[in-house]
Chains A and B, each alone.
Chain A
């Protein structure tokens, strides 16, 4: 028993522990303000909202583990939302079913473009993904004429994003659970995951070990694109339609969630549990600030300052070790 406890303590990353500690502290502070912050209904609602960010941050994490970054999140999210709703309204009942995979595939395609640029053309990911973001934006302007599209999301999309199933657990949370379990398996149990961590630590060592490095990078960006677009599909289902700039609010939070969860921004280090903690932490912070009816400007300032403070906290912890 004590051996199990000890091995558990050894396996928990201090950064993950800090993130969960901060979640508890936030909930405590919130409960001082209003007891409704700790009611099951509120917490489930928070987890449901967190699911969208969680799916997007999963993709961001894989790319960050490589030591790269995906800045195409905002418009790949929008592409996911807009293309799925478009298909849903074009093709009636058939479209309703293929809307979800179609939206995701559009994101995968954009991710493949980014990945090809990074892996084969050796362009820094910061540049390629920004360019892909711009291209995606342009394509969507062509598609919608620059206005928010009138297409409604399909039944299936709304079911995934807003429905509840067994024991009243939101479907979105179940979706995040499945995505998270798959990501955890991918990162810890497959050769792909091992290579991702390896590349983040030393690309040269991975290449000289005879691993097909370029394919791993390409696949990682494709996954990131697909997951961002999936986030967009869910968001479109949640709001019943897609909107211009629907992904704008997800770039900083997705990267912040990954880093707050203890994943090194330089790559090679981090685990999925940390990203879960980071996502919940960011979502709670955002909603507590808005419930407290602090003005938008003040909210932005507090939000940014808290992220900087937390990263400082991790920096200290890194120095000690």
Chain B
């Protein structure tokens, strides 16, 4: 009998059915991967397991006994811990406070700080974050470290089933490696692990069993490694999956004046003398480990950061870009697709239409009064162009699936017809089908003359999409890879700043990633 079992689970949200007769068996000491496009019902299934959402119908059986979780606390008590896609840490509290937050050790009714710190240290060690000081405020940690704290927080509750929902989507390859080691050890300790990821490599590396979800139903369960990537993707999207990446143009860009050129950009100690050129029609990637200055570089180009030294030229002409307002002005024509679509990119409660036209309102209005006819026309155009799936443009954008939200964010910037497009990890946490559409779109934009600078934490994307890749390390460009030189091996070794002499070490790491 399975350690944990779900049978015939149904769940509706309003008129939308998220789960229809879904079932799942989880074994102890195994890693069970759950695959499916966004909106396939994975998140709902997990929320039911974690007690966040009550099912409309269906049974859950744990060790032969029927269980019901009315709240996250009762699921926790039964030994189910969950790490959600969105981080749940409080940025102003210390790492130790965060780890012990649901059940802090007490002495005479007050929090026992010493015991709390010990608990945090143990949990961090189990999660592979020994180097994180328990008293650091969480806001001072980069995203990847926060993810490790998140795992430690879950482990501190000594769970028997650990659910990871896109828990590695924010991590760069080297950190993912560490997490693997941790997860494999937890598996050998007899934990049941439930793993959701959009990265096929991760699943191939980790999973023992896989279950594919589609339209709220589990459509297939199989032993890991018995199906090819292509077969799996077909199961997920229910259609043939071909040509993930559009073909690159074979022509090498000529020695034209670059659309975007930066010389010797520096900012505090995060950016160090970065120079780069992006030509019209080119997709240039930014590689490297997470937090090596890629994000800051994009923000510096877009005029968000104060006190950037160095020069930026647009079409060979020196320009000082000191605010996003200037950056998007017609003379410069820059757009930035920010990293966090929920807080930096979109206004979730506002309608799809108002989000789409927000950046372009200047050109859709006269003397500050919005011309609604041209707004509607422009909105309809981009919705059609990007095939955004929505029930109506007056619905809040927060009601769309993650992939469609990302499309809205990109469409919002296409409405200002930018010539320079900066993208900060635009495919994080979105489904395969939408990713593929985005790759096609990027290439189409480049072909029509846009200059694209594209940061991604997914190496496969950099390899598949980019004409050139600049690898950043510690705030400086360490290497430029061109065309066929962009390989996983080269990306990993330059990301770790390993010179070609130690290529063997690089090769080992590449296999690990």
A-B interaction: yes
The answer to whether the Cβ of A44 comes within 8 Å of any Cβ in the partner chain is: no
Closest to A188 in B: B370
Do B361 and A205 touch across chains, with their CB atoms under 8 A apart? no
Per-residue interface assignment for chain B, residues 410 to 422, with 1 indicating a CB less than 8 Å from any chain A CB and 0 otherwise: 0010000000000
The interface residues of chain A lying within 8 Å CB-to-CB of B349 are 201, 268-269
Alpha-carbon separation in the docked complex, A209 to B327 (Å): 10
The answer to whether the Cβ of A45 comes within 8 Å of any Cβ in the partner chain is: no
B365: contacting residue among A191, A197, A204, A208, CB under 8 A: A191
Report the minimal beta-carbon distance from A107 to chain B, rounded to whole angstroms. 22
State which size class the interface on A falls in.
Answer: 20 to 34
The answer to whether the Cβ of A278 comes within 8 Å of any Cβ in the partner chain is: no
Listed stretches B26-34, B339-347, B376-384, B496-504; interface member: B339-347
Per-residue interface assignment for chain A, residues 264 to 275, with 1 indicating a CB less than 8 Å from any chain B CB and 0 otherwise: 000011000000
B350: contacting residue among A189, A197, A212, CB under 8 A: A197
Within 8 A of A (CB), among B312-331: 323-329
Closest to B375 in A: A194
Do B370 and A205 touch across chains, with their CB atoms under 8 A apart? no
Report the minimal beta-carbon distance from B405 to chain A, rounded to whole angstroms. 12
Do B354 and A197 touch across chains, with their CB atoms under 8 A apart? yes
The interface residues of chain B lying within 8 Å CB-to-CB of A190 are 365, 368-370
Known: A190-B365, A190-B369, A191-B361. A210 touches B327 (CB 8 A): yes
Give the residue among B347, B348, B359 with the most A Cβ atoms within 10 A: B347
A201: contacting residue among B350, B361, B368, B412, CB under 8 A: B350
Report the minimal beta-carbon distance from A211 to chain B, rounded to whole angstroms. 7
Report the minimal beta-carbon distance from B295 to chain A, rounded to whole angstroms. 13
Within 8 A of B (CB), among A73-90: none
* Interface of chain B, main secondary structure: mixed
The answer to whether the Cβ of A35 comes within 8 Å of any Cβ in the partner chain is: no
The interface residues of chain A lying within 8 Å CB-to-CB of B326 are 210
Alpha-carbon separation in the docked complex, A269 to B350 (Å): 8
A212: contacting residue among B325, B327, B347, B359, CB under 8 A: B325
* Interface of chain A, main secondary structure: helix
The interface residues of chain B lying within 8 Å CB-to-CB of A189 are 369-370, 372
Alpha-carbon separation in the docked complex, A202 to B342 (Å): 9
Report the minimal beta-carbon distance from B484 to chain A, rounded to whole angstroms. 36
B348: contacting residue among A201, A204, A210, CB under 8 A: A201
The interface residues of chain B lying within 8 Å CB-to-CB of A204 are 343-344
Report the minimal beta-carbon distance from A206 to chain B, rounded to whole angstroms. 8
The interface residues of chain A lying within 8 Å CB-to-CB of B412 are 209
Within 8 A of A (CB), among B346-362: 346-350, 354, 358-359, 361-362
A208: contacting residue among B329, B345, B361, B362, CB under 8 A: B345
The interface residues of chain A lying within 8 Å CB-to-CB of B369 are 189-191
Per-residue interface assignment for chain B, residues 96 to 119, with 1 indicating a CB less than 8 Å from any chain A CB and 0 otherwise: 000000000000000000000000
Alpha-carbon separation in the docked complex, A211 to B359 (Å): 7
The interface residues of chain B lying within 8 Å CB-to-CB of A268 are 347, 349-350
Do A210 and B346 touch across chains, with their CB atoms under 8 A apart? no
The interface residues of chain A lying within 8 Å CB-to-CB of B346 are 202, 205
Do A210 and B325 touch across chains, with their CB atoms under 8 A apart? yes
The answer to whether the Cβ of B206 comes within 8 Å of any Cβ in the partner chain is: no
The answer to whether the Cβ of A207 comes within 8 Å of any Cβ in the partner chain is: yes
A194: contacting residue among B323, B338, B354, CB under 8 A: B354
Per-residue interface assignment for chain A, residues 172 to 197, with 1 indicating a CB less than 8 Å from any chain B CB and 0 otherwise: 00000000000000000111101101
The answer to whether the Cβ of A198 comes within 8 Å of any Cβ in the partner chain is: yes
B328: contacting residue among A194, A198, A202, A210, CB under 8 A: A210
Known: A189-B369, A190-B369, A194-B354. A205 touches B345 (CB 8 A): yes
Do A194 and B344 touch across chains, with their CB atoms under 8 A apart? no
Further pairs besides A202-B348, A208-B345, A209-B358: 19, Cβ < 8 Å: A189-B370, A190-B369, A191-B369, A191-B370, A194-B354, A194-B358, A197-B350, A201-B349, A202-B344, A202-B347, A204-B344, A205-B345, A208-B304, A209-B328, A210-B327, A210-B359, A211-B361, A268-B347, A268-B350
Listed A/B pairs (8) with beta-carbon separation below 8 Å: A189-B369, A190-B368, A198-B350, A201-B349, A202-B343, A206-B358, A210-B327, A268-B350
A residues apposed to B, CB below 8 Å: 189-192, 194-195, 197-198, 201-202, 204-212, 268-269
